[in-house]
């Protein structure tokens, strides 16, 4: 839509800030859908997921039921575009050629990491910038191989896999069941053996970390946060949604020796860093232009615990090099 008109859609045939593959696909996809009565009827939206190697996944949503007639038309479209296509309508999901793509990122200092990405799940929007962001986080967490990493909001394991070699063990949590399965798949795909992934929200992990609640999902994942588990969780990695950390998660962060915080919202990042300033100092800062030509900015901050932070009233953990 134009900025001053939220009613009449505006036709956009190119998307310069997107990948070359997306730009190659936009016009022929629109043309093919417009020519087909089956593909165009009650179409709601079309989205694209592409990789650096040129794989493409097109998702088409409808305000009407779709069936095998749609599959026949979509199969022809997929062949003409060399892409996979997923069709969605209420209660229906039809897949043509697959619903995943494989992305390989060359991470500075770390090397190649490969990720399976699926339709409908969160992925980093800018692969080349993501490589630099992962390289920055990898460098920021060097030297802690004798301690363990705790990660909240791990998604499909993007940072989990990149950072795993810098730690003895990694505990990664994520609320979305599909993302947990994807993270586990990506961990195995990359031959990473020191990571356990559990389906917990950040709030639930705070409760488990404080030994206030027991979760069978942790047990199923092979994670014991008590004394028997032997974890030395000294580094916390967080990449929260735009709302940032909730109060309980900020309290958890205050007990860690260091916090690596990736944020897509500088305003909530500033709020959380300000709240943690009683216990931590800012050690490193970086900005990543994941969203070119927009006001949005991805930021990274490393927070290092003050030597006297327990004087500020933060509970001392029962493990770690204090």
**Are 238 and 291 found together in one domain?**
yes
- Residue 208 is predicted with a pLDDT of 96
**Residue among 299, 261, 297, 288 at smallest CA distance from 277:** 261
* Residue 115 covered by a domain: no
Instruction: Output the pLDDT for position 295.
Output: 86
Active site residue 264: yes
Comparing CA positions, the residue from 80, 40, 79 lying closest to residue 60 is 40
**Binding residue numbers for S-adenosyl-L-methionine:** 124, 153, 174, 239
User: Could you tell me if 50 and 144 lie in one domain?
Assistant: no
Task: Answer whether residue 61 is part of any domain.
Answer: yes
Helix and strand numbers (H, E) in the chain are 10, 13
Q: Which of 113, 130, 264, 299 is catalytic?
A: 264
The total domain count for the chain is 2
Q: Decide if 171 contacts 150 (C-beta within 8 A).
A: yes
pLDDT bin (cut points 50, 70, 90) of residue 294 is confident
Please write the tens of the pLDDT for every residue from 219-274. 999 999 999 999 999 999 999 999 999 999 999 999 999 999 999 999 999 999 99
State the Cα–Cα distance between residues 18 and 28, nearest whole angstrom. Answer: 16
**CA pair distance 283, 306, nearest whole angstrom:** 11
Q: Is residue 1 part of a domain?
A: no
Which residues fall in the annotated binding site? 124, 153, 174, 239
Of the three residues 47, 65, 98, the one that is the final residue of a domain is: 98
In the listed set 98, 133, 163, which residue is the last one of a domain according to the structure?
98
pLDDT band at 145 (very low <50, low <70, confident <90, very high): very high
pLDDT by residue (tens digit) across 30-87? 999 999 999 999 999 999 999 999 999 999 999 999 999 999 999 999 999 999 999 9
Whether residues 56 and 186 share a domain: the answer is no
pTM attached to this predicted model: 0.90
Q: Which residue is associated with the tokens 């799940």? A: 121
- Identify the helix (H) or strand (E) that includes residue 22: helix 20-35
Structural domain contains residue 130: yes
**117 in a domain, yes or no?**
no
Q: What CATH number should be reported for the domain holding residue 90?
A: 2.40.50.1070
Residue 92 and residue 185 in one domain: no
* Domain hosting residue 266, numbered range: 122-312
Nearest by Cα to 110 from 68, 152, 61, 158: 158
Residue 92 has pLDDT above 60, yes or no: yes
């Amino acid at each position: 839509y134009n900025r001053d008109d939220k009613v009449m859609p505006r036709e956009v045939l190119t998307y310069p800030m997107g990948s070359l593959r997306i730009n190659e696909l936009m016009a022929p996809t629109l043309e093919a859908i417009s020519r087909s009565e089956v593909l165009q009827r009650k179409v709601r939206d079309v989205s694209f997921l592409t990789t650096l190697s040129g794989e493409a996944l097109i998702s088409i949503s409808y305000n009407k039921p779709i069936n095998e007639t749609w599959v026949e038309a979509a199969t022809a479209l997929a062949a003409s575009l060399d892409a996979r296509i997923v069709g969605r309508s209420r209660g229906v999901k039809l897949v043509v050629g697959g619903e995943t793509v494989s992305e390989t990122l060359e991470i500075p200092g770390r090397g190649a990491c490969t990720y399976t990405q699926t339709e409908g799940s969160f992925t980093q929007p800018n692969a080349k910038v993501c490589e630099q962001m992962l390289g920055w986080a990898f460098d920021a967490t060097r030297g802690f191989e004798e301690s363990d990493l705790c990660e909240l909001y791990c998604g499909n394991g993007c940072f989990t896999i990149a950072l795993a070699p810098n730690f003895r063990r990694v505990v990664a949590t994520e609320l979305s069941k599909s993302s947990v399965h994807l993270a586990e798949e990506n961990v195995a795909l990359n031959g990473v053996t020191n990571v356990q992934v559990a389906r917990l929200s950040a709030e639930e992990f705070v409760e488990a970390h404080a030994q206030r609640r027991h979760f069978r999902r942790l047990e199923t994942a092979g994670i014991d946060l008590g004394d028997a588990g032997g974890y030395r969780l000294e580094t916390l990695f967080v990449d929260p949604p735009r709302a940032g950390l909730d109060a309980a998660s900020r309290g958890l962060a205050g007990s860690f020796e260091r916090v690596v915080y990736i944020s897509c919202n500088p305003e909530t990042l500033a709020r959380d860093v300000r709240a943690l300033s009683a216990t931590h100092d800012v050690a490193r800062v970086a900005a990543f232009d994941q969203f070119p030509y927009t006001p949005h900015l991805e930021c990274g901050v490393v927070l290092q615990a003050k030597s006297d932070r327990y004087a500020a009233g933060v509970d001392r953990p029962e493990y770690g090099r204090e």
